[in-house]
């Protein structure tokens, strides 16, 4: 009997010839950062450490504020400015003057700091629809912040007052020049009247009246300019030390560092995933190999899952037994870093438990591990899966002593050993019979004679050896080395069939596709693939 005839490679093509697409769900999006959780956690921890270092090393900035009411320069301070008071003063210009060079220079000279630092620490806020300037100053201490903002408010008022005074002086100087010029004309006209004839006096008098009227207007205007109040405003709220507040919230900085690091870690996880694609699900395995799924083996994480994991192995063994006929050669293949030893041992135990004689071949020095894993899996077999294990305890012999000590005892006396065992005293008779020691044989649990390298499991057995030693056995499981660096597993698969073992979150898609291409080039049609979790293959 031989293996089942290999069929064509399965294809998942749509009727129109196109490859059907799979819908990406929210679970698929979350799977990448969850499987790269170590990277995300490490970057988030770095972000938290960076924020903690900033909080501890950078001193906390203290903020103080002062409010200045800006008033327009008018001749009559008691005249109401109307509903559009903000139009009388250009607040954008006032804000620029408040943060200008003169104000900053005064603050730098008073505090002995760099003007650039003063410019960065000083802010001026202009509320909409009002004539108010709100000065905000940041410093390392509360006293420095209070002194700085109050000085900034006073400096602004002084600078603005000086500017208004200069404007007023320029206007007064211009009016004085005009008045002097008109006065000179008046004196000249008066001289002409004194020396004029009778017919020309009327014209000169009329011209003098016009000059007098012009001189009166100039004097009136000069008086109004001189009476202008050049006070640009006043400080309505001075900064106090009790009202100073710390800039920023330290816990928020830590939270921002943690969230920012986590976000950067998620981005790096997706970037790493795009470069290093791993098998994350059954769909990824199907897409990469094009093979049918033989079964999934869950992770043995909790104590209650041991039975479930063993059942997964038995289901995979049933799927393999359905597809092969003895004599069968099954090579368990992995791509690069995976180790199929646990899966090979589990399949051997599951197949032997139903009465098959299984030979486990390994040429990579893992025979001891295979034997230990088989013995461990054998102990976990349930009574229903192991016919050799009695369901009820064995009856107590009739002559045994009971626990109470009042029962019957064995009537037969123990036989004393001979003081002269066979062969101890050589006989001088040449015709005497030579007694040879008996070779001990290991009795299996079901009564069969068991060799030293054989493990009885249920109605069958599991033997171990190399690939050449298992040439005469009916069912051989070859524990193949990684196919990326060793071709023996593919060579064995050419003589029988193969099962591709994929370890979730560890097997790379590129390595798996390369393995499948090599199997296709060698003419091997695998039975399918087995998806395992970390720690089981």
Q: How far apart are CA 345 and CA 338, in angstroms?
A: 15
Q: Are residues 213 and 68 in the same domain?
A: yes
| 437 domain residue, yes or no | no
| 391 domain residue, yes or no | no
Q: What proportion of the chain, given as a percentage, has pLDDT over 70?
A: 77
Q: What is the mean pLDDT of residues 329-333?
A: 91
Tens-place pLDDT, residues 454-473: 888 878 889 998 888 887 88
Model confidence at 281, pLDDT cuts 50, 70, 90, reads: confident
pLDDT reported for residue 17: 45
Annotate 441-457 with three-state secondary structure. CEECCCCCEECCCEEEE
pLDDT reported for residue 387: 57
Mean pLDDT of the chain: 79
More confident of the two residues 458 and 501: 501
Q: Are residues 255 and 242 in the same domain?
A: no
∠ CA(393), CA(398), CA(401), 5° rounding?
90
The count of structural domains within the chain is 3
Q: Are residues 304 and 326 in the same domain?
A: yes
In this structure, of 12-16, 108-112, 217-221, the range with the lowest mean pLDDT score is 12-16
Q: Is the pLDDT of residue 422 over 80?
A: no
| 412 domain residue, yes or no | no
pLDDT reported for residue 153: 92
pLDDT reported for residue 193: 80
More confident of the two residues 292 and 82: 292
Q: What is the mean pLDDT of residues 165-192?
A: 88
Q: Are residues 240 and 340 in the same domain?
A: no
Beta-carbon count within 10 A of 340 CB: 28
Q: How far apart are CA 299 and CA 236, in angstroms?
A: 72
| 411 domain residue, yes or no | no
| 255 domain residue, yes or no | yes
pTM of the model: 0.54
Q: Are residues 303 and 371 in the same domain?
A: yes
Q: Are residues 102 and 177 in the same domain?
A: yes
The residues with which 499 forms a beta bridge, in sequence order, are 332, 528
pLDDT reported for residue 516: 92
Q: Are residues 163 and 107 in the same domain?
A: yes
| 482 domain residue, yes or no | yes
Model confidence at 15, pLDDT cuts 50, 70, 90, reads: very low
| 378 domain residue, yes or no | yes
Q: Is the pLDDT of residue 7 over 70?
A: no
More confident of the two residues 328 and 412: 328
CATH at residue 352: 3.40.50.300
pLDDT reported for residue 75: 59
Model confidence at 301, pLDDT cuts 50, 70, 90, reads: low
Select from 510, 170, 479 the least CA-distant residue to 336.
510
Q: Is the pLDDT of residue 134 over 80?
A: yes
pLDDT reported for residue 251: 82
Q: Is the pLDDT of residue 288 over 60?
A: yes
- What are the DSSP calls for 115-148, one per residue? HHHHHHHEEEE--TTS-EEEEEEEESSHHHHHHH
Q: Are residues 169 and 235 in the same domain?
A: yes
Q: How far apart are CA 59 and CA 50, in angstroms?
A: 15
- What are the DSSP calls for 179-247, one per residue? HHHHHHHHHHHHHHHHH--TTTHHHHHHHHHHHHHHHHHHHHHHHHHHT-----EEEEE---GGG-EES
Q: What is the mean pLDDT of residues 505-523?
A: 90
pLDDT reported for residue 443: 47
pLDDT reported for residue 21: 56
Q: Are residues 123 and 227 in the same domain?
A: yes
Residue 499 is part of which domain span?
282-386+443-532
Distances (CA, A) of 534 to 301, 500, 506: 10, 16, 8
Helix, strand, or coil (residue 528): strand
CATH at residue 193: 3.30.1890
Q: What proportion of the chain, given as a percentage, has pLDDT over 90?
A: 19
Q: Are residues 175 and 227 in the same domain?
A: yes
Q: Are residues 198 and 92 in the same domain?
A: yes
Helix, strand, or coil (residue 439): coil
More confident of the two residues 418 and 469: 469
Q: Are residues 261 and 287 in the same domain?
A: no
Q: What is the mean pLDDT of residues 45-51?
A: 92
Q: Is the pLDDT of residue 4 over 70?
A: no
Q: Is the pLDDT of residue 86 over 70?
A: no
pLDDT reported for residue 384: 63
Model confidence at 411, pLDDT cuts 50, 70, 90, reads: very low
pLDDT reported for residue 535: 40
More confident of the two residues 246 and 271: 271
Model confidence at 266, pLDDT cuts 50, 70, 90, reads: very high
| 504 domain residue, yes or no | yes
Model confidence at 406, pLDDT cuts 50, 70, 90, reads: very low
162 DSSP assignment: H
């Amino acid at each position: 009997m031989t293996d089942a005839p290999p069929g064509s490679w399965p294809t998942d093509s749509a009727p129109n010839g196109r490859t059907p697409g799979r819908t990406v769900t929210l679970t698929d999006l979350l799977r990448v950062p969850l499987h790269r959780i170590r990277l995300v956690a490490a970057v988030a921890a770095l972000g938290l450490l960076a924020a903690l270092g900033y909080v501890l090393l950078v001193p906390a900035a203290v903020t103080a504020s002062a409010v200045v009411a800006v008033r327009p320069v008018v001749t009559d301070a008691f005249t109401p400015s109307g509903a559009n008071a903000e139009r009388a003063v250009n607040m954008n210009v006032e804000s620029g003057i408040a943060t200008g060079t003169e104000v900053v220079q005064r603050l730098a000279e008073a505090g002995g700091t760099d003007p650039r630092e003063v410019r960065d620490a000083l802010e001026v806020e202009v509320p909409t629809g009002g004539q108010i300037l709100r000065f905000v100053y940041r410093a390392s201490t509360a006293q420095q912040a209070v002194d700085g903002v109050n000085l900034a408010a006073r400096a602004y008022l002084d600078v603005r007052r000086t500017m208004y005074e200069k404007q007023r002086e320029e206007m007064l100087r211009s009016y004085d020049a005009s008045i002097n010029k008109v006065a000179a004309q008046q004196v000249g006209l008066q001289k002409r009247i004194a020396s004029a004839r009778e017919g020309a006096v009327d014209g000169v008098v009329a011209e003098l009246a016009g000059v007098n009227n012009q001189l009166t207007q100039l004097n009136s205007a000069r008086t109004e300019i001189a009476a202008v109040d050049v006070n640009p405003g006043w400080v309505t709220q001075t900064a106090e030390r009790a009202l100073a507040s710390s800039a920023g919230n330290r816990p928020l900085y830590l939270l921002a560092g943690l969230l920012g690091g986590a976000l950067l870690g998620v981005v790096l996880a997706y970037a790493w995933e795009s470069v290093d694609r791993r098998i994350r699900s059954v769909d990824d395995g199907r897409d990469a190999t094009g093979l049918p799924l033989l079964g999934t083996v869950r992770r043995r994480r909790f104590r209650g899952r041991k039975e479930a994991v063993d059942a997964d192995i038995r289901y995979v063994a049933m799927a393999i037994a359905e597809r092969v006929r003895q004599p069968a050669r099954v090579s368990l293949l992995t791509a690069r870093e995976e180790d199929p030893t646990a899966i090979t041992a589990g399949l051997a135990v599951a197949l032997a438990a139903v009465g098959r004689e299984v030979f486990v071949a390994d040429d990579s020095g893992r025979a001891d591990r295979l034997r230990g894993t088989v013995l461990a899996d054998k102990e976990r077999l349930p009574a229903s899966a192991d016919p050799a294990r009695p369901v009820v305890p064995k009856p107590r012999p009739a002559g045994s002593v009971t626990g109470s000590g009042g029962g019957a005892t064995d009537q037969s006396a123990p036989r004393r050993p001979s003081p002269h065992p066979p062969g101890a005293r050589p006989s001088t008779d040449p015709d005497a019979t030579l007694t040879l020691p008996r070779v001990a044989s290991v009795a299996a649990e079901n009564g069969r004679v068991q060799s030293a390298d054989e493990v009885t499991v249920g109605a069958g057995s599991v033997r171990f050896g190399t690939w050449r030693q298992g040439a005469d056995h009916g069912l051989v499981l070859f524990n193949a080395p990684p196919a990326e660096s060793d071709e023996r597993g593919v060579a064995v698969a050419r003589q029988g069939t193969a099962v591709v073992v994929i370890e979730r979150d560890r097997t790379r898609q590129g390595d798996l596709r390369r393995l499948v291409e090599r199997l296709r080039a060698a003419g091997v049609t695998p039975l399918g693939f087995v998806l395992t979790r970390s720690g089981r293959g």
